[in-house]
Amino acid sequence: MARTFQVGDTFTHVRQCDRLRPVYYAGASGDYNPIHIDPEVGKLAGFNGVILQGLCTLGWAVEAVAVFVGDPGLVRRVKVRFSRPVLPEDTVTFQGRVTAVADGRLTTEVTATNQRGEPVLRGAVVETSLG
Amino acid sequence: MALDPKFVGRAYGPFTYEIGREKLREFSLILGGSVPSAGTFGEPPAHVSPLLYSQEAAQAGPYGDVIAFPSFAVVFAIRPFSAAIADPELGVDRVRLVHGEQELEFLGVMRPGDVLTTTGQISELYRKAGMDFLVVTTETRNAKGEPVVRGVWTAVIRPA
């Protein structure tokens, strides 16, 4: 487990939002806001249909870092701004970079962009314990 | 119409939640991309840590039992935020609401059987660029009274 991390280390994690993911995530999380499960409500809100829960996108950003450090139990903090919804059939690419390793903590900055190159998160920071 | 700043400090909760083993697995697998069907949460995708779903791997690992994926905390810690949004006296227009920002701090791992109590309060109400911002701060403690999760939840209410 004696893995070392350095400032500047990078990692990438790619997730597909399959067509029914907002419905599955609604069931798992309890977030049944109709904008995530009823296409008519999504259209009323100005989208083509449903949108993915922002907190699912947040979870994927955390997952990107958890996979990088190898243990989800080490994650200590996440902070994100939701800049654009993820839609069914979107592919989201998370790119992370270690910005600090100090005092038993690893700090990473994570970008998340859809297949059109548009950011879906801004200012995402995930911190982990070093174990 | 701007939200009335007199509601800053209004508290919601306490709300208590007991973590169930299968609910933890369900959340971890679905977030990870498994495809559920009747009776099963689906096959674990390769990138999902077995510490989140495999009893055998978890018992051999650092925590001794399966643990929650960190953002599982939203399942219960969202409650004061939901309560504020639904508070008729505050009067949030839910049709114009979007989740703007989210911060979560995890002070320890969460395991099956943990009994967690969440309280929250409106910490900020302000208007910026024609939009109303509602900020709810939450704290979740375990049965021993130790803090486990802290959250800062920001809703943005777009203009009519």
Yes or no, beta carbons of A25 and B49 under 8 Å apart: no
Its domain, for residue B27, covers 20-67
How many CB atoms are located within 10 Å of the residue B79 CB?
A: 23
Nearest to B77 by CA among B26, B28, B136, B156: B136
Select from B149, B106, B20 the least CA-distant residue to A72: B106
Q: Assess whether B104 and B156 both reside in one domain.
A: yes
Q: Where are the domains of chain A?
A: 10-18+52-129
A28 and B27 within 8 Å at the Cβ level: the answer is yes
Same domain for B51 and B115: no
> What's the predicted TM-score (pTM) here?
0.97
Residues B81 and B48 in one domain: no
Fold observed for domain A10-18+52-129: Thiol Ester Dehydrase; Chain A (3.10.129)
Residues B36, B77 within the same domain: no
Residue A34 has φ and ψ, to the nearest 5°, of -55, -20
List chain A residues with CB under 8 Å of B107: 76
Among the listed residues A126, A113, A19, A125, the one whose alpha carbon sits nearest the alpha carbon of residue A72: A126
Residues B41 and B99 in one domain: no
Asked whether the beta carbons of B149 and B73 are under 8 A apart, the reply is yes
Instruction: Return the SS3 of B151.
Output: strand
Angle formed by the axes of helices B21-32 and A54-69, nearest 10°? 90
Query: Rounded to the nearest 5°, which phi and psi values hold at A60?
Result: -65, -35
Tokens linked to B118: 């969440």
Which residues 6+ apart lie within 8 Å of B72 measured at CB?
A: B24, B27, B28, B110
| Residues B134 and B149 placed together within one structural domain of the fold | yes
Helix, strand or coil, per DSSP, at residue B160: coil
Q: Which pLDDT belongs to residue B14?
A: 98
Tens of pLDDT along B82-91? Answer: 999 999 999 9
- pLDDT (tens digit, 9 = 90+) per residue, B32-49? 999 999 999 999 999 999
Residues of chain A with pLDDT under 70: 1-2
CATH number at residue B158: 3.10.129.10
The answer to whether the Cβ–Cβ distance between B70 and A25 falls below 8 Å is no
Residues 44-103 of B with CB under 8 A from A: 47, 49, 51-52, 62-63, 67, 69-71, 74-75, 78, 95, 98-103
Under DSSP, the state recorded for B16 is E
The stretch B105-122 carries a mean pLDDT of: 98
Least Cα distance to A126 among A3, A5, A18 occurs for: A5
**Of the partner residues A55, A59, A67, the one whose CB lies closest to the CB of residue B47:** A67
Mean pLDDT for chain B overall? 96
Q: For residues B149 and B107, is the Cβ–Cβ distance under 8 A?
A: yes
Question: Above pLDDT 70, what percent of chain A?
Answer: 98
Q: Is B18 on the interface with A (CB under 8 A)?
A: no
Q: At CB < 8 Å, which residues of chain A contact B? A: 13, 15-16, 18, 21, 24-25, 27-31, 44-45, 54-56, 58-60, 62-63, 66-67, 70-73, 75-82
pLDDT at position B1 is 59
Q: Which of A18, A28, A76 sits opposite B106 (nearest CB)?
A: A76
Give the pair of three-digit tokens for residue A80: 């994100």
So what's the pLDDT on residue B2? 79
Q: What's the residue count for chain A? A: 131
Q: Which among A64, A68, A53, A63 is positioned nearest to A17, based on CA atoms?
A: A53
Same domain, B105 and B157: yes
Cα B110 to Cα B70: distance, rounded to the nearest angstrom:
8
Dihedral sign (CA B151, B140, A28, B51): positive
The H-or-E segment that residue B115 falls in is strand B115-128
- Residue A117: per-residue pLDDT: 97
* Helix/strand/coil for B65: coil
Token readout for B20 is: 């169930």
Confidence of residue B28 (pLDDT cuts 50, 70, 90): very high
Number of domains in chain B: 2
Q: What single letter denotes the amino acid at residue B128?
A: K
